[in-house]
Structure 1
């Protein structure tokens, strides 16, 4: 994915300003920054859930930000997971995970269920496949949301603060899954407040402030020896000791 000079406003408020970003196959791009810095809006723009005011978004060399492009077709190649889970409450875990493969990608019920069962087993959820979301813990629901996104074999996974709503003891479980996905070569762009996780997993870290990418580079540079004063100030506030 290639993002060029992206701009997004809500009325008179500029939320993203001249944002450019390159995501290569197998990259894990961690977006860091204070609440309100533009991380979530950037992810929503990449998923074509928000219209942009200016700039270009390309996926595999095709401009997907063109208003004539059908966003539903583009999103077939993406998996998107938000901190709010967004599971369908009236469907079982298995039904949640097989809905998109069957209805959007045209898979047979048997093929969709086989894939979902395999992933649910892998992520420790096999015993819950017939349960509805309200019978699960927050950590389990977030893992189901990840499995649902992976059931369509996405080229690109977009994750928005997926541990923000979890109790501290559940954060490690969910981050462990994302760590395994990264090790397996899954291409991801994720917003996170987990600096240690970003340091260990990211191929690139982007620090956003006021809707702009102030600094970007490998985690050992941005998180350990940042060049920009604003990055250093942010890290002093969020890193222990």
Structure 2
């Protein structure tokens, strides 16, 4: 395996090249090209079924691709010879569902992966977990079980759990879609703060106003292809492609203003 994206020996990008993913006769991703520069936030938008979640799962190597490259630190980690587990340890993904272990407290959920997967000593893993819970505004809820937390609080624990492994690339898959409207803001605030610290993020969202605020680049997916990509002001404010304009018109009509 050879690094394919380097600048002066320092890898600067993550992403995919020509990725194809099929489920039987259905092609879900059809030759997707996408790069994420280090310290950037790249946002995927598009209708349900456009391929956003599948793309994130392919990047995280949770799905095998049928063609193309998945690049992490400039190396094709989809190569059959690649160490998938090692690659996944450098990434973290947060899903729509919180997926917290119900029999564990918030701090135990956050400390689990650093202790078990990354072999961090227990006390150090717990200290990191407490620090991250404070960072997402849940320091006082460290010993609470998931059923004692609101949906927004559970999603913030899930974000803290993802950050606990100190990922090179953080993947966020429609993390507010399962929340009541009044809880969306608290989760988006955390993501905005993370973006301001320079963490590298690839996320899918249906919150267009939020995408405009935090993104360095927005990519519109339709039918498993990236039809348009560019700065948020251009893609969301003055899109070139007719399909992008149609999608945004529906979004605006539904009340998710850009």
Q: TM-score, normalising length from structure 1?
A: 0.98
Deviation at 1:70, TM superposition (A): 2.7
Deviation at 1:184, TM superposition (A): 0.5
Deviation at 1:228, TM superposition (A): 0.3
Stretch of structure 1 that moved more, 221-230 or 128-137: 128-137
Provide the rounded CA distance (Å) in 1 between the counterparts of 2:165 and 2:220: 30
Q: Confirm or deny that 1:34 pairs with 2:47.
A: yes
Counterpart pick for 2:177 among 164, 184, 188: 164
Once the two structures are superposed, residues 17-47 of structure 1 have per-residue CA deviations (whole angstroms, 9 ceiling, x without a partner) of 0100011101101000000000000000000
Structure 1: 5+ residue runs without aligned partners? none
Q: Confirm or deny that 1:119 pairs with 2:128.
A: no
Structure 2: 5+ residue runs without aligned partners? 1-13
Provide the rounded CA distance (Å) in 2 between the counterparts of 1:27 and 1:124: 24
Once the two structures are superposed, residues 94-135 of structure 1 have per-residue CA deviations (whole angstroms, 9 ceiling, x without a partner) of 111011101111111111111111111122211211121111
Provide the rounded CA distance (Å) in 1 between the counterparts of 2:246 and 2:22: 26
Provide the rounded CA distance (Å) in 2 between the counterparts of 1:91 and 1:183: 30
Aligned partner of 1:207 in structure 2 is 220
Stretch of structure 1 that moved more, 7-16 or 54-63: 54-63
Alignment of 1:33-72 (within 5 A): 33-72=46-85
3-state DSSP of counterpart to 1:5: strand
Higher RCO, 1 vs 2 (CA within 8 Å, ≥6 residues apart): 1
Alignment of 1:1-241 (within 5 A): 1-239=14-252, 240=255
3-state DSSP of counterpart to 2:89: helix
Deviation at 1:2, TM superposition (A): 3.2
Runs of 4+ in 1 over 2 A off after TM superposition: none
CA RMSD of aligned residues (A): 1.0
Provide the rounded CA distance (Å) in 1 between the counterparts of 2:247 and 2:102: 38
3-state DSSP of counterpart to 2:178: coil
Q: TM-score, normalising length from structure 2?
A: 0.91
Provide the rounded CA distance (Å) in 1 between the counterparts of 2:152 and 2:231: 29
